[in-house]
């Protein structure tokens, strides 16, 4: 993660868990500049084997995938994440 980047929100939303047992991943939204908000996804321990060190970074003791998507505003980035969660709930 670049030094000048600022994590503006650790997207910790209380998502209801359905009986399916699906785990909804957590996301970070990083404000890189006024019109660029980068989305990172938290990795579970069993996923680490699929990624190289250059694809992952640590923030507050948790590992995240580097940029998986981005938005022009924090609101747009949140909408993207909510779309991901919606896809999980349809499984």
Distance CA 85, CA 6 (A): 24
Q: Give phi and psi for 7, each to the nearest 5.
A: -75, 120
Token pair in block for residue 58: 């640590």
Say if residue 4's pLDDT is above 50: no
- Scanning the structure block, which residue is given the tokens 């500049």? 33
User: How do beta strands 36-41 and 27-33 pair?
Assistant: antiparallel
Q: List the domain boundaries for the chain.
A: 6-89
Per-residue model confidence as pLDDT tens digits over 6-50: 343 334 444 445 455 666 788 888 888 999 999 999 998 889 999
Q: What are the CB-based long-range contacts (under 8 Å, 24+) for 9-14?
A: 9/74, 10/60, 11/78, 11/81, 13/85
Whole-model pTM over 0.85: no
Per-residue model confidence as pLDDT tens digits over 70-89: 999 989 998 998 887 765 55
């Amino acid at each position: 993660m670049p030094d000048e980047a600022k994590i503006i929100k650790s997207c910790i939303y209380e998502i209801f868990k359905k009986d399916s047992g699906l785990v909804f991943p957590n996301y970070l939204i990083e404000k890189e500049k006024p019109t660029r908000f980068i989305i990172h996804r938290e990795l579970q321990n069993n996923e680490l084997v699929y990624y190289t060190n250059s694809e992952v970074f640590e923030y507050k003791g948790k590992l995240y995938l580097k940029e998986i998507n981005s938005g022009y505003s924090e609101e747009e980035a949140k909408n993207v994440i909510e779309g991901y969660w919606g896809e999980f709930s349809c499984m």
